[in-house]
Amino acid sequence: MLTVNSVAIDDTFAEAFPMTACRVVVTADTPGWADTAAREATGYAASVIGCDAEAGVERTLSSEETPDGRPGVSLLFFAFSRDALQKAVVNRVAQCVLTCPTTACFNGLAGDPERSVKVGGNLRYFGDGWQISKRLDGRRYWRIPTMDGEFLCEESFGTVKGVAGGNLLILGESLAAALAAAEAAAAAVRGVPGVIAPFPGGIVRAGSKVGSKYPALKASTNDAYCPTLRGQVRSALPDGVNAVYEIVIDGLTLAAVEDAMRAGVRAACRPGVVKITAGNYGGKLGPHHLHLHKLLAE
């Protein structure tokens, strides 16, 4: 069996699937206000099982990295289609960025204009006829009057076909050991460009399986990995495992998700962790199969 730092690595794969993605760059007069807008805009966006999008903070940007020379934050959004992505991003930028003091909003991805989503082009109507359009270097921006000046937002945002659902499961001897490993894994994932871990703090305690005994539910608790159900269900937990945490990863490319999974697995191999495994549905959920042993061998 393959081990890393004496932690067993299961010979299995994470099953990921395509989603449409975009990058939103939010800037503000101060890093604090840019961060506030970013956190609000990416709230309640952990899983498309129950949210309009999966979203998260990709990284903090310096003033040298932003279009308007101010502090910024890069956000990634994922949805099953461009229409769904446009609706989610427009709503979130409208409610959480436009309303936040001193902010502006820019497209962070180059791409085919035919595959873009219209953000500023929809939000401009909030200006009630007082909005102003400007075109710079072939890109259109909208200036919308606000009570502290104006909100600048790019008209269209590029999209790519991203990858969602990369994952790893951390099986620990105790809650404390599993959580420390999950925190280390989430931190390692955050260091990889082009990815997010959309759940709270990048960590999932309530992993899910497809389906439920209740017909109205699409998903339900992953009972095979619930320690309190050991002996009552077909458990996947080895002896000595008393807590499990999952890291879910979405990325702009398959390679980025692979890099993030590799970094997360290595960071999670700490004292008190019994095994690292991954979630899949026998290859029926998505076309991207990220084998743990192969990832660690590369």
Higher pLDDT, residue 298 or 182: 182
User: Residue 138: pLDDT above 90?
Assistant: no
Between CA 188 and CA 224, with CA 261 as vertex, the angle to 5 degrees is 110
Quickly list DSSP for 63-124: GGGSTTSS-EEEEEEEESSHHHHHHHHHHHIIIIITTSTT-EEEE-----GGG-EESHHHHG
User: Residue 285: pLDDT above 90?
Assistant: no
Structure confidence at residue 76 (pLDDT) = 98
Q: How many CB atoms lie within 10 A of CB 4?
A: 16
Structure confidence at residue 1 (pLDDT) = 82
Asked if residue 89 lies in contact with residue 117, where contact means CB atoms within 8 angstroms, the answer is yes
Alpha-carbon span 126 to 151, nearest angstrom: 11
Distant-in-sequence, close-in-space partners of 129: CB < 8 Å, separation ≥ 6: none
Mean predicted confidence (pLDDT) in 156-160: 97
The three-state secondary structure class of 43 is coil
Of all helices (H) and strands (E), which one includes residue 208? strand 208-210
Question: Which residue ranges make up each domain of the chain?
Answer: 3-15+164-297, 19-160
Work out the pLDDT band at 68, boundaries 50, 70, 90: very high
User: Residue 63: pLDDT above 90?
Assistant: yes
Tokens of 213: 């005994």
Between CA 183 and CA 196, with CA 170 as vertex, the angle to 5 degrees is 50
Topology classification of domain 19-160: Alpha-Beta Plaits (3.30.70)
For 98, left (φ over 0), alpha (ψ -120 to 50), or beta?
A: alpha
Mean predicted confidence (pLDDT) in 190-204: 98
Mean predicted confidence (pLDDT) in 138-161: 97
Structure confidence at residue 113 (pLDDT) = 83
Tell me the CATH number for domain 3-15+164-297: 3.30.70.520
Do domains 3-15+164-297 and 19-160 share one topology? The answer is yes
104 Cα distance to chain centroid:
22
Work out the pLDDT band at 283, boundaries 50, 70, 90: confident
Cα atoms found within 13 Å of the Cα of residue 94, Cβ hemisphere only:
16
Structure confidence at residue 71 (pLDDT) = 98
Work out the pLDDT band at 120, boundaries 50, 70, 90: very high
Asked if residue 244 lies in contact with residue 277, where contact means CB atoms within 8 angstroms, the answer is no
Q: What DSSP designation does 51 have?
A: S
User: Residue 141: pLDDT above 90?
Assistant: yes
Distant-in-sequence, close-in-space partners of 179: CB < 8 Å, separation ≥ 6: 172, 203, 243, 245
Tokens of 12: 């299995």
